[in-house]
Amino acid sequence: MRKTAIYRDDLFLAHDPGPGHPESPERLRVIFNELDKLESDSIFIYPQFDPASTDIIELNHSAGLVKQVAATAGRSHGFLDADTQTSADSYDAACLAVGALIDGIHRLDQGEIDNGFCIVRPPGHHAERDRSMGFCLFNNVAVAARWAKKELGLKRILIVDWDLHHGNGTQHSFYDTDQVLYCSTHQFPYYPGSGAVLETGNRAGEGFTVNVPLSGGQGDVEFARIFNELFAPIARLYQPELILVSCGFDIYNGDPLGSMKVSPAGFAYMTRVMRELAEELCGGKLLITLEGGYSLTGMRDGAMAVLAELCGEDIPGAALGVKRLESLKTADIGCSQLEQALSVQKNYWKL
């Protein structure tokens, strides 16, 4: 059994964007309830962790944005943009979410854990340097990658983002550098409007952004092909020292905000590809963090599928379909968007 860490805290439930908002505390509560039913202390490690300091958050964000978000603390309700609302504990929850990723990377570096899943909110991948947006206050994964570069001296970090929505904030954070390789699948054209296939990076970062914009309706087989034929080969050429995953369960078949058709087996398969790549390329150093997902069933079943693959144990409720997972290795359903992305990326990688 692998040493899989789960980062959870009730403070993440206290961030409340308001009645009817899709990014509700229930998204995490259904996962926490499932873990509690499992008596999962015997399966997973639950580290203690601290919130990220202002200095750490400012590795990726302007001091002005940090002050703007901090000013919401203690206020019952606030707006950072039309979609991004806060409550009294939102700032503290956002700092703790970043802290979860920092702690996870530190423990991976020290060999204390094999991999981990940060079940946090608010999510992060839309947050820009000086702007909170798209339900996101701070960009958890981008701050963590910058911390790993600064404190651990890492030169090659892979970020894979399978959320329904393009991670504009993450892409923009590293668009000019080759020290972070950003690979994203997302529905397009869709919020936030970025992530076209020809967005491949700039200056030293040219070729280190890999976008696969999808039309909607894609499911397990199409995502398996993208991971097998594009992301995994590029990762092997890049040789990352750490792999981070922005995990959105809003590509689940039935999510109210999207039209993808990924099942729990698909989430398990993508996790398996990432875990095996991490074991092959960087000593297993893999940390997954939660982004979107608005079907409570999809959140619960997707999270259990991811966790089962991370720890290597049969978990009740993780209906993975092992035979179906194996069949995805040789999946051969057409995907024109993958073919287009391959054509673009062959300009940069020997695929």
Residue among 258, 261, 255, 177 nearest 223 (CA) = 261
Please name every residue paired with 45 in a beta bridge, in sequence order, or none if there are none. 5
Phi-psi map region of 193: left, alpha, beta (phi>0 left; psi -120 to 50 alpha): left
How many Å is the maximal CA-CA distance in the chain?
A: 53
What is the edge-to-edge ordering of all strands in the sheet holding 157-161? 4-7, 115-118, 286-290, 242-247, 157-161, 180-187, 209-214
Phi, psi of 245 (to 5 degrees): -125, 125
Residue among 114, 193, 170, 164 nearest 299 (CA) = 164
Phi-psi map region of 74: left, alpha, beta (phi>0 left; psi -120 to 50 alpha): left
d(CA 99, CA 118): 10
Q: What is the 3-state secondary structure (H, E, C) of 61-123?
A: CCHHHHHHHHCCCCCCCEECCCCCEECCCHHHHHHHHHHHHHHHHHHHHHCCCCEEEECCCCC
Strand-strand pairing, 157-161 and 115-118? unpaired
Candidate list 15, 61, 125, 126, residue with the active-site label: 126
Q: Is 126 one of the catalytic residues?
A: yes
Just list the catalytic residues.
126
